[in-house]
Structure 1
């Protein structure tokens, strides 16, 4: 299976007079929410306290599987995971193909509580 991408024109932020170039941008292909993940895990293992590790391993397996299919994985208030890509800029849309994709990454968008956590963290120099 492959991640879907779309072609987007973008201006050069360092030279707005330069002609636009075209880039590949990852597309989310549906969504997988926490309830769906919980249902998947229920079919794969038991969910008793002693089996918590097994449940976490199944969760990881399913997150990887859903991301591999191009889906956005929503973990409720924890946040969302999605695959992102970078590509070379091309002069024309028809020149953009999978061959110009230069890198990929996992994008995590934290939920509200995690974002709030970042606002309240304080720092202290070690030593």
Structure 2
């Protein structure tokens, strides 16, 4: 199935007087939540959907716990999660403190199978 997209106008943030250009933007085609994933997994295994949901909830809890301890969470061919931070710049290393941290975020680095998926996608312009 093809990924649907629409066109969106965008201004150049470096030149606000320049004319807008149009870019492709992906359109979501619904959502799949953890309950639905648990049900799908249960049909592909001998586990019940309740058991699968419990495992997925435990996975979520443990990923959060490990990231909170500063660990990189490697999920095999799925990919890796890691905390990243941004801070204000200082002249010397001694001046940098925890109070200089301005933002934190979670980075996900997809594994080989997910990266391969991106190279095999097809697209369809929404009407």
1:48 maps onto 2:47 in alignment: yes
For 1:120 and 1:110, how far apart are their aligned partners in 2?
15
Residue 73 of structure 1 corresponds to 73
1:5-84 matched pairs, under 5 angstroms: 48-50=47-49, 51-84=51-84
Which of the pair has more CA radius of gyration?
2
1:92 maps onto 2:92 in alignment: yes
For 2:53 and 2:107, how far apart are their aligned partners in 1?
24
Please report how far the alpha carbon of residue 72 of structure 1 lies from its aligned counterpart in structure 2 after TM superposition. 0.4
TM-score (norm 1): 0.61
Please report how far the alpha carbon of residue 49 of structure 1 lies from its aligned counterpart in structure 2 after TM superposition. 2.8
For 1:119 and 1:88, how far apart are their aligned partners in 2?
37
Residue 112 of structure 2 corresponds to 112
Give unpaired runs (5+ residues) of structure 2: 1-45
Q: Secondary structure at the match of 1:86?
A: strand
1:124 maps onto 2:124 in alignment: yes
Give unpaired runs (5+ residues) of structure 1: 1-46
TM-score (norm 2): 0.61
